[in-house]
Structure 1
Amino acid sequence: MSLQILLLFIPACFALNMAFGPNNLLSLMNGARHGANAAIAASVGRLVAFVIMIAIAALGLGALLMTSEVLFSAVKWLGATYLVWIGLKVFLTKSPAQSTSPTLDSNYSLFDMAKKEFIVASGNPKAILIFTAFFPQFIEPNAYAQSFMTMGIIYLVLEAAAVAIYAFIGARLGTYARNTNAFRWINRLSGSLMIAFGVLLAFARKPAT
């Protein structure tokens, strides 16, 4: 890819990476509850989902999802249901006893957190739209494979950077929420936002073709 295209692609891509959505909210929540390192490690699940999506889009199969009402609706409703379920669980989570430890919750499984990141990322059909509609705008026709691979790597690196930013913000917020009341309100706000994302996803319409 030419330097001119990269200078256009990178800032536009990072804006998409930083957009506040379900996965970035998840990193924020994980950072507040378990610390930045755990939140960053859990994001491997999200990155794996995006690697799969990039490969699907590169092979041209992503267009099938975007044009098929049945497939789009199936993925959309599964993703929306999962987001609402996560939101309800977080909203109803009981506050732990007041603690002076650096993190609010030391009982967690990185595998479960990564699995949740994977499901949230792969359950949003709008995510693959980035790779099927956004990437092609920067593709060099005479170097399709190289362009797609370069953009895919850049996207994943910038996504990791966005994860780190949200995770550290979450961890910082977590230090102010060691008392029971603050923790309860963080859970209610986070859970409500996750439910809202699920409802918005449920009402999302397939992009016009």
Structure 2
Amino acid sequence: MSLEIFAGITPETLGAVAAMAFAGTWSPGPNNAMLSASGARFGLRATLPHARGVALGFPAMVFAVALGLGEAFRHSELLRETLRWGGAALLCWLAWRTATAPAPGQGGGRARPFTFLEAAGFQWINPKAWIMALAMISQFADGAQPVRDAAVIAAVYTVSGMTSAHAWAGFGAAMGRFLGTGWRLRAFNMSMAALMMLGVLALLTEDLGGV
């Protein structure tokens, strides 16, 4: 992406965008919990498509939201509530699958990690992703140059997402090698599932219309 998109962006604004993006992408949440659990079970190499789907899928979503899709979300209670309850149900299911996943090489559970397209598509039904995107856009997109603002925010999220997604997947892979295949790995998976459930609780109490 050309550096010309950053023309007119002050260093202070760019630094604030980067700080908010890195805080959002590096903090624990559904994406990072799923990446760690996948890394622990399937290894880093097999989890790379999942990591890249998160790292590139979310900036693509942010770009679309910044160009106007976010306004549709804000003004449609039906859309917000569908996302809230549909996202909560999906996260509960993913948390259960993570908590009950067998050790590597054993049958049952999810037989493979997410593909690139599955991970990218998950961003559109991940409530935390919507909240992060809308919060960022409300802070830094003034509407004067919507395409430029959308491109800058997406570019920053691509950098922060690439680093955080691969780091969380690598963390999970390292933990998987350290924990082995017994109760310690099961405890790790359950802790990742608990992070997802915390996201569900936050989602059910979040005022999505006020983001």
- TM-score normalised according to structure 1 size: 0.80
| Kept after mapping to 1: 8 A contact 2:40/2:175 | yes
Matched, 1:94 2:108: no
- What is the identity percentage for the equivalent residue pairs of Structure 1 and Structure 2? 23
| Kept after mapping to 2: 8 A contact 1:9/1:138 | yes
Structure 1: distance between partners of 2:60 and 2:209: 21
Matched, 1:62 2:79: no
Where does 1:134-149 land on structure 2 (aligned, <5 Å)?
Answer: 134-139=136-141, 142-149=144-151
Structure 2: distance between partners of 1:166 and 1:117: 14
Deviations 1:73-118 (A, max 9, x none): 1011111111111111222233457xxxxxx99x987673445533
Structure 2: distance between partners of 1:92 and 1:111: 15
Q: Give 1:125 shift.
A: 3.4
Where does 1:80-91 land on structure 2 (aligned, <5 Å)?
Answer: 80-91=88-99
Where does 1:1-209 land on structure 2 (aligned, <5 Å)?
Answer: 1-95=9-103, 112-139=114-141, 142-208=144-210
Q: 1:143 to 1:30 in 2, by over 3 A?
A: same
Deviations 1:23-68 (A, max 9, x none): 0111111121122233332123324542442232232121221232
Structure 2 counterpart of 1:44, one-letter code: R
Deviations 1:130-166 (A, max 9, x none): 3333234334665432232122111112111111221
Structure 2 counterpart of 1:66, one-letter code: R
Q: Tell me, which stretches of 5 or more residues in structure 2 are unaligned? A: 1-8
Deviates more, 1:28-37 or 1:109-118: 109-118
Structure 1 counterpart of 2:170, one-letter code: F
Q: Give 1:178 shift.
A: 1.1
Structure 2: distance between partners of 1:126 and 1:89: 20
Structure 2 counterpart of 1:162, one-letter code: S
Count of paired positions: 202
Q: 1:69 to 1:186 in 2, by over 3 A?
A: same
Q: Give 1:203 shift.
A: 3.7
SS in 2 for 1:207: helix
Q: Give 1:119 shift.
A: 4.7
